[in-house]
Amino acid sequence: MHSLLSKAGLPVIGIFSELSADERAALMSGLETQPLKRGDVLVRQGEAADALYIVISGRFSVTLDGRREPLTEIGPEQPIGEIAFLTGGTRTATVTAMRDSLVLRLGRAEFDSIAAKCPGIWRTLTASLAQRLAATTSISQPSAPDPRPRTIAVIRAGGAHVPERFLDQLNAVFSASANTLVLNSARAAELLPPLDSAEATQALNQLESSYDYLVFLADAELTPWSQKAIRHADLVLAIATPDADPAPNALEQLAAAFVDTEARRLVVVHERRAPLSGTARWLRRRSVAMHHHVALDDRSTMARLYRFINGSALGLVACGGGALCAAHVGLYKALLESGFEFDIVGGTSAGAAMTGAFAMDKHPDDIDRGTHDIFVTNRAMQRYTWPRYSLLDHRHYDTQLSRYFGGVNIEDLWVPFFSVSTNLSSYQLHRHDRGDLFEAIRASSSIPVLLPPVYTPEGEMLVDGCLLDNLPITTMHALKSGPNVVVSFDIPELERFDVKYESLPSRAELIRMSINPLTRGKLPAAPGLTTVLMRSLMAGRDDFLRQMKQDDVLFVPPIPADMGILDWHRHAELVRNAYWWGLEEVQRLKRARHPLIAAVEATATAR
């Protein structure tokens, strides 16, 4: 037991910092070693606190009942459960092993026996505990755990074999940016004690302190090394190849049993970068946080995977805003020309359509021409119908939209994409990150009343995402860590309307005045239904500011003061203005030495 700690014995940390050397030695005599496997619960909320623990090696998450996200994480040489133990209370949280771990346990009977022999221990620990409780209550929020993985297991998915070229590129990309150790079963046998021993777990955790990343290459089958690699990993990458059998194998089944969905990713490896298809068959039988495509002839795709893992992936989040969203295209063009490379894009309503085109790798000039074709030449939002299900002819609108987005699945895009819609069945935000791209964009931009909702096979009713989240930055945060370009607009304030309410005509008067050319021009100059509806949907659009994180950067391209939300015919003007403004804004950020620019330049250097 004593060999598992340093020669100094009990760590001089936390509530033990005020103990004398003799008192720490006395406590050491009552400690026993307890190994835990990944997923084992060390202490459970609500149970009696019958022991305190000290982490020798490993990693633990602290969670509260009813909350999915951990409050914090606990690492080596940190105590667990000491407050409840010394105060005689019950556990206030659940502590679970995040990987194979070792702890020292001091039970109630052993502690009472030691305290009887050394009464000073109790007085010292009580004073230290009071100080710690005072410090704890002064902190409004617990520290958030570091979301970046340190240990990564690479396993094969389905019937695939992990290509050697993939492993070579993975090693090269990781080693170029971080101190990385790659271990396969042969190398592990050289460096580690027997895998089933507590010393092996401790040795792996000690290696972690010497490297930024440990990458475990699992065997092709479920060997002892494969099991150890999976149980000890913060992140599991399941490697697929397009033509292999997608049925999950024993390695994946073990990973599903021990590793949370948020820590599992599917990586589909392709010989070359070309149009994709068939990814859905791999995702259909797996629960993973995300999937990624890597092309062996395009190193940038491996670099993108690395950025997702190390928490530096660059995102683009686009807002809704009708015709104003054409400004996204000009800004996107300026950012591309300034060296920005986006790893994931997403948006709401018309912003979803623009980022969908970005994810398809369309050139900004082509997107601008497509905007003109859909909304100006073919007047997608100007063909009205009998108002039974909507005001606009949705068949005509869908036809125009599908000519550009039809026949593409989101999971087959090289650049990850998402959109959001409002689920009127559950009154919740609905995220679209798989399935038909056209349907995802159509649902996100399904303006209530103007267009009929989109209905899912489960019978759920989806309408425009701007009702709940016009700028889905929280959705982007849920998918990844790292910086984001966030695009919003300052909506021009329309002039006050000099309209007398009592002048609005009745139904009969409206029909009579509308069909009589002599009185048609005498209708009150009040905003129409479409204008009122669109401006209503834009209310409360600044809520996203409270959700932005330190790494997020807000871009607000200029909008002409006299431009309306349905003025699609002015798209080229918006694109041009946003493009030149975007170039100037990037130069301003460069002069200010903004961290976003440093991140962009680092990515460009890696390419």
Q: Please report the pLDDT score of residue 437 as a whole number.
A: 98
Q: Please report the pLDDT score of residue 140 as a whole number.
A: 43
pLDDT band per the 50, 70, 90 thresholds, residue 14:
low
Supply the residues annotated as catalytic.
349, 464
Lowest mean pLDDT among 108-117, 207-216, 426-435: 108-117
d(CA 165, CA 63): 40
Can you give 400-430 as a three-state secondary structure string? HHHHHHCCCEHHHCCCCEEEEEEECCCCEEE
Q: Please report the pLDDT score of residue 141 as a whole number.
A: 47
Percent of the chain with pLDDT over 90: 57
Q: Please report the pLDDT score of residue 523 as a whole number.
A: 73
pLDDT band per the 50, 70, 90 thresholds, residue 280:
very high
Q: Summarize the confidence of residues 537-547 as an average pLDDT.
A: 69
Q: Summarize the confidence of residues 571-591 as an average pLDDT.
A: 96
Helix (H) or strand (E) holding 260: none
Whether the Cβ atoms of residue 492 and residue 561 lie closer than 8 Å to each other: yes
- Which distant-in-sequence residues (6+ apart) come within 8 Å of 260 by Cβ? none
Using alpha carbons only, what angle is made at residue 303 by residues 302 and 305, rounded to the nearest 5 degrees?
65
Q: How many CB atoms lie within 10 A of CB 379?
A: 14
Lowest mean pLDDT among 76-85, 168-177, 484-493, 498-507: 498-507
Whether the Cβ atoms of residue 80 and residue 55 lie closer than 8 Å to each other: yes
Q: What is the pLDDT of residues 286-312, one digit of tens each?
A: 999 999 999 999 999 999 999 999 999
Lowest mean pLDDT among 129-138, 176-185, 346-355, 568-577: 129-138
Q: Please report the pLDDT score of residue 352 as a whole number.
A: 98
Q: Which of 274, 306, 358 is nearest to 603 (CA)?
A: 306
Q: Please report the pLDDT score of residue 256 as a whole number.
A: 94
Percent of the chain with pLDDT over 70: 87
Mean of pLDDT over the chain = 87
Q: Summarize the confidence of residues 70-93 as an average pLDDT.
A: 82
Domains recognised in the chain with CATH numbers: 14-135 (2.60.120.10), 151-310 (3.40.50.300), 315-492+529-606 (3.40.1090.10)
Q: Please report the pLDDT score of residue 138 as a whole number.
A: 45
